[in-house]
Structure 1
Amino acid sequence: MDAISDSVFTDFTTVDEFSDDPSLLTVILDISPKGWFNIRSKVTLNDVTKSLLVFLNAHLSLNNSNQVAFITSSPQGSRFLYPNPEKNYDERSNGREPSPGLINKGMYRQFRIVDEAVLIELNEEIEKTADSISSNNAKSTLSGAVSLALTYTNRMLNLDQSITTTTASAINSTTNMNNNSSTSVTNSASNSSVTASGGSGSLTQMKLRILIISANDEDNINYIPIMNTIFAAQKMKLSIDVAKLGEKDSSYLQQAADATSGVYLHIDQPEGLIQTLCTAFFIEPSIRPLFILPTNSNVNYRASCFVTGKSVDLGLVCSVCLCIMSLIPKNGKCPTCQSKFDEKILQQLSKLPLVAPRKKRKVDS
């Protein structure tokens, strides 16, 4: 038993470097009404929102350069709640009291800006969803929300390369002061400021990850867009974590977490969601090899039919574009690339399986 316990805590990948780089956490909340209605006896959307706000505040408190983003996915579409380019809550918070009943007046300023923006925009989004709940458009827009998150992440990664942390600036200033102890105080201060702002030592690489919270039990996610977002996340080396509520697992979200080295967790008891968020999903991907995280070995890799949109166990594949079909098209052409199939092959596939006749058993006299 001692050997087993020692191997559990010692057999992990060695992480050579630890950095204090800033991190961008993008949270995607699926507010499909049907999924939250099915788990109304266990947890409400209000309770989940409170837990997410605590989780976001904890992420911001780790580093003063950490950033967050909040996106909602509803049957009407996907939308940014924070940051919202149309509304600047940073300017609105100056000289103005927080909205009554939403935010505590004595809260830290950065926490107050994020919490107030998320709560106000989320209330408006829920009202819009409630007004159009009678419509038949119940398709999931989660793939669009992930696309928005990847677009915003790519912008933060490529356009905001001049992000510096207070820790790096302090280290550079201390180093320059020690090296230039013989020079004047003014020159050393100017040199340290130049190094902190323009030197390569203070430029940091932002860490990226996405967290998806969904209670939708139906696999109505568009297969092609969600797979494209998975491939894009792999290329960006971005982890997609999934906190799945409800009764059923989501095969496509399982594939997203497994392909991007993220954490997929099906939460059966969402009453203690804040504890799950602060343990399984709070650890940065760079130091996850040092921890024993929940793993999902039963990943459902089923694909979706390009014609019907339903999951298939056994189907047909186009040899030109690799289109997956659960049935033979009536026009004999691929629905994606319009390639014409061979008539002989279609006739063979359309034939029903033949049952060989059973041989009569001889009866001994």
Structure 2
Amino acid sequence: MASAPSKLYADDVSLVVVLLDTNPFFWSSSSLSFSQFLSHVLAFLNAILTLNQLNQVVVIATGYNSCDYVFDSSSDLNRSFENGRMPVMCSSLLQKLEEFLIKDEQLSKEEPEGKIKSSLFSGSLSMALCCILSGVLMRHYFFDRVFRSGALHPHPRGSPDGPEQYVAIMNAIFSAQRSSVPIDSCYLGSQNSAFLQQASYITGGVHHKPQNLDGLFQYLMTIFATDLHSRSFIHLPKPVGVDFRASCFCHKSTIDMGYICSVCLSIFCKHHKKCSTCGSVFGQAQSEAASASDKKRKTPET
């Protein structure tokens, strides 16, 4: 009896880009060690590749000062085995990750004191979108996802994100939304991340904060390993509340209420007479200028 011909369905193949947070300022104070975290993530990556031989996984390390590609499963070498023991995927990823950590640590020594200890999420997210969009052009049947694991170190004011990255991150989020690329986020920090909440909400991804870190692999498999087709009939965690606070363009600080330029939509924490981004004159300044010109016209000539 002849076997049934195999079919390739577009919803069965996934391109998953994982942004791995390696911020040493967070992992030095985390209850879950970085090595334990990596063991869960490596098992998750192996599971993604096992679900379909055409699946592709790309890992981008996100450090304190830099970000870089550390693994791409499309390479033939990364799918083989080394002496029948550890897969080359694990050894190659760990080796490149160690090199990245050493390089990022050297760069962190050059940073001035008092800087917010946040990870370079804007850079790694932009790299992920470039990787995904190039993969879409080459492999039109891929379903694309950006999955971010890890956490940003909360700074003393209580916000876990770097407000100075707000503009770049929001630009990347809207680009992902326009390209129909959902951003999933698995957050492990003690405080939540407004950037990750907004990224998952705007792009239609999943944002989840595991309560039991010992079972992190189960969270990754049951929530984040589902392909886009399966998500249409699987009940995944819904966002309870999304922090939509923005960061002002003038001081790069998180604000609850501010002023918005009606021309370029720049956000400011205080009123300005002129937009520093596009140069537009705001309403109050325009009325003052108009009243001053009217007074000059009404002044009789002597």
- Higher mean alpha-carbon deviation, 137-146 vs 242-251, is at 137-146
**AA matched with 2:162:** N
Give the distance between the partners of 2:17 and 2:150, measured in 1 at CA: 14
Give the distance between the partners of 1:141 and 1:343, measured in 2 at CA: 38
Q: 1:154 aligns with which of 92, 108, 133?
A: 133
What are the Cα deviations for residues 96-150 of structure 1, in whole angstroms up to 9, with x where unaligned? Answer: x84xxxxxx3258xxx232222110111112223334433364531011011111
Residue 230 of structure 2 corresponds to residue 287 of structure 1 = yes
Task: Say which SS state the counterpart of residue 125 (structure 1) adopts.
Answer: helix
What are the Cα deviations for residues 238-287 of structure 1, in whole angstroms up to 9, with x where unaligned? Answer: 11110001110001110100111111011233222111111111111221
Residue 73 of structure 2 corresponds to residue 67 of structure 1 = no
Could you state the TM-score of these two structures normalised by the residue count of structure 1? 0.68
Q: Is the 2:64–2:119 Cα contact (8 Å) retained in structure 1? A: yes
In structure 2, relative to structure 1, the CA distance for the partners of 1:21 and 1:288 (3 Å cut) is closer
Give the distance between the partners of 1:22 and 1:154, measured in 2 at CA: 15
Task: Say which SS state the counterpart of residue 320 (structure 1) adopts.
Answer: coil
What are the Cα deviations for residues 283-326 of structure 1, in whole angstroms up to 9, with x where unaligned? Answer: 11221122221111211111110111111111011122111100
Give the distance between the partners of 1:270 and 1:297, measured in 2 at CA: 20
Q: Is the 1:89–1:113 Cα contact (8 Å) retained in structure 2? A: no
Aligned counterpart, 2:77: 90
| Identity %, equivalent residues | 31
**AA matched with 1:130:** E
Q: 1:213 aligns with which of 149, 155, 167?
A: 149
Larger Rg: 1
Give the distance between the partners of 1:338 and 1:84, measured in 2 at CA: 47
Task: Say which SS state the counterpart of residue 167 (structure 2) adopts.
Answer: helix
Give the distance between the partners of 2:118 and 2:208, measured in 1 at CA: 23
In structure 2, relative to structure 1, the CA distance for the partners of 1:19 and 1:323 (3 Å cut) is closer
Could you state the TM-score of these two structures normalised by the residue count of structure 2? 0.81
- Higher mean alpha-carbon deviation, 127-136 vs 205-214, is at 127-136
What are the Cα deviations for residues 205-226 of structure 1, in whole angstroms up to 9, with x where unaligned? Answer: 1111111013213220511111
In structure 2, relative to structure 1, the CA distance for the partners of 1:46 and 1:341 (3 Å cut) is same
In structure 2, relative to structure 1, the CA distance for the partners of 1:28 and 1:119 (3 Å cut) is same
Q: Is the 1:78–1:144 Cα contact (8 Å) retained in structure 2? A: yes
Q: Is the 1:241–1:257 Cα contact (8 Å) retained in structure 2? A: yes
Q: Is the 1:243–1:265 Cα contact (8 Å) retained in structure 2? A: yes
Q: Give the Å deviation of 1:346.
A: 9.2
Q: How do 1:1-365 and structure 2 match up within 5 A?
A: 19=10, 21-39=12-30, 42-83=31-72, 90=77, 98=82, 105-107=83-85, 112-134=87-109, 135-136=111-112, 138-161=117-140, 205-216=141-152, 217=154, 218-221=160-163, 222-329=165-272, 332-342=273-283, 344=285
Q: Is the 1:246–1:268 Cα contact (8 Å) retained in structure 2? A: no
Q: Is the 1:25–1:67 Cα contact (8 Å) retained in structure 2? A: yes
Moved over 6 A (4+): none
Give the count of matched residue pairs. Answer: 269
In structure 2, relative to structure 1, the CA distance for the partners of 1:293 and 1:339 (3 Å cut) is same
In structure 2, relative to structure 1, the CA distance for the partners of 1:210 and 1:344 (3 Å cut) is closer
Give the distance between the partners of 2:203 and 2:238, measured in 1 at CA: 13
